[in-house]
Amino acid sequence: MKIGLFIPCFINAFFPEVGIASLELLERFGLDVHYPPDQTCCGQPMVNSGYHAEAAATEALFVRNFAGFDYVVAPSGSCVHQVRERMTSVEQSDEVRQVRGKTYELVEFLHDVLKVSDFPWAEFPHRIGYHNSCNTLRGLGHASPSELHGPHFSKPLALLEKVRGIKIVQPARPDECCGFGGTFSVTEPAVSVQMGRDKVHDHLQAGAEYVVSADSSCLMHQKGCARRENSPLKFIHIAQILNGARA
């Protein structure tokens, strides 16, 4: 299975350890993983800001980079949601539709495609609270949102439960936005910060030592809010835990 690894621009710039963990984790399963060196952005910042036409060239470059792979995998739910659901500025050729259809977020790729049953190298003896970003929860269907009636499921928690020593604690309001929301945190900073503080407090009240997520952008926002509150909470991407990170 030939995998194209997409590392979003903000992860490449600020959280390279998440990209490295994603690569190592996929290689542990014997996959043929490639990192196209010409990759840049998926176009999400422009689309979020309403510059759809200006995103076309960026989207076309993404397709050129990832057209030759069986699957495209990325450790970012918001970027994958952009590719699968919102990459519409570029002309929708067969090649474009194929790339969009085979792009997966890391958690759903492990859960839905590889159907991983064990992470024998992973141990994380800590209490963790999981943060579902809005895009992964409602856009990609990572878990059952609490506002809808239906069978409960959570793909990330199903994977984390296979890690030795981990204890999952549930915040009181698990599905609330943390306040990052792409450009929302720029246009409404006061509201965004308060939402981040509320999320940090909710995890602390539940007894979490770490907040875990599949979206580094949400973790970055909450970590900033926690630092201003002198909170003892720590933050880590799910790829790092599944790859065997030690605290």
Q: DSSP letter string over the chain?
A: -EEEEP--HHHHHH-HHHHHHHHHHHHHTT-EEE--TT----SHHHHHTT-TGGGHHHHHHHHHHHTT-SEEEES-HHHHHIIIII--SS---HHHHHHHHTEEEHHHIIIIII-----TT-B--SEEEEE--HIIIIIS--B--TTS-S---BHHHHHHTTSBT-EE---SSTTS--S-TTTHHHHSHHHHHHHHHHHHHHHHHHT-SEEEES-HHHHHHHHHHHHHTT---EEEEHHHHHTT---
pLDDT in tens, 87-102: 999 999 999 999 999 9
Whether 181 has a pLDDT exceeding 90, the answer reads: no
pLDDT in tens, 1-52: 999 999 999 899 999 999 999 999 999 999 999 999 999 999 888 888 888 8
pLDDT in tens, 122-168: 999 999 999 998 888 988 999 988 777 778 889 999 999 999 999 99
Task: Indicate the pLDDT class of residue 193, thresholds 50, 70 and 90.
Answer: confident
- Mean per-residue pLDDT for 239-245? 96
pLDDT in tens, 62-81: 999 999 999 999 999 999 99
Find the angle CA(9)-CA(6)-CA(2) to the nearest 5 degrees: 165
Whether 191 has a pLDDT exceeding 90, the answer reads: no
In the structure encoding, which two tokens stand for residue 192, read together?
């965004």
Task: Indicate the pLDDT class of residue 183, thresholds 50, 70 and 90.
Answer: low
Give the C-alpha separation, 225 to 231, whole Å.
Answer: 9
User: What pLDDT sits at residue 151?
Assistant: 83
Whether 182 has a pLDDT exceeding 70, the answer reads: no
Task: Indicate the pLDDT class of residue 176, thresholds 50, 70 and 90.
Answer: confident
